Chains A and B, each alone.
Chain A
Amino acid sequence: MDFMTQVVASFGLLLDPTILFYVVAGFLIGTVFSAIPGLTATLALALLLPLTYSLDVTTALMACASIYMAGMCGGSITATTINIPGAPSSMMTALDSYPMQQRGEGPLALGHASFASMIGGVFGAVLLVLLAPLIADLSLLVQTTGKCALILFALIVIVIAQRGNVRRAAIAACLGLMLATVGLDAMVPVARFSFGIGDLAAGIDLMPVIIGTFAISELLTQLAENDKARRIREQLKGVAKIRRRDFIPSRSAIRRIGAVCYLKSSIIGYLVGTLPGAGGSMGGFLAYVEAVRTSREPYSFGKGNPQGIAAAESANNAVCGGALVPMLTFGIPGDPITAIVLGVLVINGIQPGPQLMESQAGLIAPMLAALIFSALILIPLTMYLLGPYFIRIVRIRRDVLFGTIAMLAVVGCYVATYSTFQMMMALVMGVLAFYLRKHGYPVVTLLLGFILGPGLEEYLRRALTLSNGDLTVFVAQPDSLFFIVLTGIFVYFLAIRKPVQLRGHESAT
């Protein structure tokens, strides 16, 4: 059975009430978390991670997929209603949806955002289903030196993607790599940096790193910004009541936006998603810029043009499909969410990489089916059914919300190993990540450094051992040479010769 047939067959799993419950619950949690400014779907996934120990891995991956999709579109709720994007991916959406809200067309703006998210999400996921097996076949050609050069490429691109913050991003990546070296060496049985602590000899678990970096540090950050959040809640109180019938965009409005706009933005989003570190905000930004560039009425953007909302939202949801490509085919996550999905696989003893699509297609296919289901059914359904109540949901009491998050985060670490050591590790990581964030360090590079570190070390040592320490092996092998040239191209265009759009994006962020 080929991969596409397996994905189609996997839709049948959604008829199982338990699986459907987790997928729908995941989607709702992802929507609420991404709608609340400051919280993200990454945090929702980090909190779910400990539960995957007890959940069936297929169900866990399907829930992860729905949270991911929800996380990309939920941010448009507060972006539209109070001009504060709930998630970075909806930054460009706010430019046109908020002026529509001011004109009394907020629900319609949310309807456009929802429709575009649906198109982009489905397009990205279908493209992933079609292309992932081909890329997985190609990835089998990559040998040890190539794998080393590929991981290095991913790390360098993730670092230089943190524009204006490259040195701090590099330091955070180094910290992640340093943490990854704690514990037994993979090739020689020698404990490194364990300081005689038995629990450290086995290395630092991925889970406390994820919980600490994204949940505990978020708690501390939110506490530090408590007054700001209170002001946002006050703003939300002034938002007018939303009626269900106002959500649905008219056919003529969709025709005015045009199929080309949806399609082009989805392709841009998908391609941006395949790049490590780029993410939904970059996808939305580039698609928006392209929509303005090719529009007959460029002056109308930023004043409530639904085309701007459509471009940004279809692109950021198409990112989901693109971002899963490097994770599934090479085992290289490009953003925190795919890193956590990778964590779910690793926790369950599944090694992502070129063989994954072939050996574990039965696990991956349901996840992609859930991704398509979330985009096609859950996005419009949630908006229609829960849209009028979104503002009330987003205004949830912060003390109740963070009390629950604190409990889930800390106890969640205990669940994995029945050891308070993991809880302590999560706290240490949380405090470190909090101070790093406070001083402008992107913690995502720390996490990706931690995840990619062991692979980088293993392949580098193997490659150098096989070539007797000859570094020219990296340019002599075609696969590694390809990634080295690719790294050079990215460094040139992203770090040395910045395109005009990126400079604009930097000043906007």
Chain B
Amino acid sequence: MSRLSSSLLVRALGSGAARFHGVLALLALGYLIGGLAMGPPHEAGKLTPSFFPLLIGVLATVLCGLQWWSAVRDTTADAQAQADASSKAVTKEGFVPDRRISPELTLMLATLVYVLVFQWLGYVLSTLVYVLGVMLLFSGLDKWLSKGAIALAITAVGFVLFNQIFNVRLPTLWG
């Protein structure tokens, strides 16, 4: 029984919600430690720059900690209910985790690469590839040629809008 509850707790700690709330709690704690490292909140009768971060840091750490704990508790209860349900219909097939990269993560990575190469490749080339990438993520790989033409048109519209109408100097491949 205790092995079951400890395995449920491990599953709960590893769940998406608990992990996210845990990361937030760690961020808040890190912020609080950063505030403490700045020195005392009160010195020579004056409030120092660390005063406000310490105040917010304590509040954020407490709230995030509570949220994390409540997520762990909720997930444990859910896992318990699932375990009870599945114990009645045990199959030999194990759980197969989905190892594909989610489209959201792909878009995040695509945007990161776009930002990194924007200055280097210039606006036209990097934007064309990025817009085409976003379009393919939203509508699949079919008709990629016509999508390429639309991406080119969007890039051109952006260029006219920023460069010609709003006089913004966009980076080019040749500096």
Contact = CB atoms under 8 A, between A and B. Distances in A.
Interface of A: 51, 53-55, 167-168, 170-171, 174-175, 177-178, 181, 185, 187-188, 190, 192-193, 216, 219-220, 222-224, 226, 397-400, 402-404, 406-408, 410-411, 414-415, 418, 420, 423-424, 427, 430-431, 434-435, 438-439, 457, 460-461, 464-465, 468-469
26 contacts: A54-B168, A167-B67, A168-B67, A170-B63, A174-B28, A174-B59, A175-B24, A178-B28, A178-B31, A178-B57, A190-B38, A224-B104, A399-B139, A400-B154, A407-B127, A407-B158, A410-B114, A411-B123, A415-B166, A418-B169, A420-B115, A423-B115, A427-B115, A431-B108, A457-B52, A469-B42
Interface stretch (B4-12, B43-51, B83-91): B43-51
A188 to B, nearest CB: 5
Contacts, number: 152
A434 B158 CA distance: 25
Contacts of B137: 223
A177 to B, nearest CB: 5
Contact of B166 (A51, A170, A185): A51
Contact of A403 (B52, B53, B114, B135): B135
B125 interface: no
Contact of A434 (B24, B104, B132): B104
A404 B154 contact: yes
Nearest to A400: B150
B134 A403 contact: yes
A17 to B, nearest CB: 15
Contacts of B127: 407, 411
A410 B133 CA distance: 14
Given A423-B115, A423-B118, A427-B108, A411 B162 contact: yes
| Leading 6 A-B pairs by shortest Cβ distance | A54-B166, A399-B139, A174-B60, A185-B49, A399-B135, A399-B138
Nearest to B71: A439
Contacts of B21: 439
B138 A178 contact: no
B73 interface: no
B14 interface: no
Nearest to A463: B47
B: contact size bracket: 35 or more
Contact of A174 (B63, B118, B136): B63
Given A226-B103, A408-B158, A468-B45, A403 B150 contact: yes
B52 A181 contact: yes
Contacts of A465: 46-47
A25 to B, nearest CB: 12
Nearest to B56: A177
B159 to A, nearest CB: 9
Contacts of A403: 131-132, 134-135, 138, 150-151, 154
A178 B53 contact: yes
Contacts of B112: 427
B124 to A, nearest CB: 11
A220 B104 CA distance: 5
B56 A178 contact: yes
B111 interface: yes
A400 to B, nearest CB: 6
Given A181-B53, A406-B130, A192 B38 contact: yes
Interface centre among B67, B102, B155, B162 (most CB of A within 10 A): B162
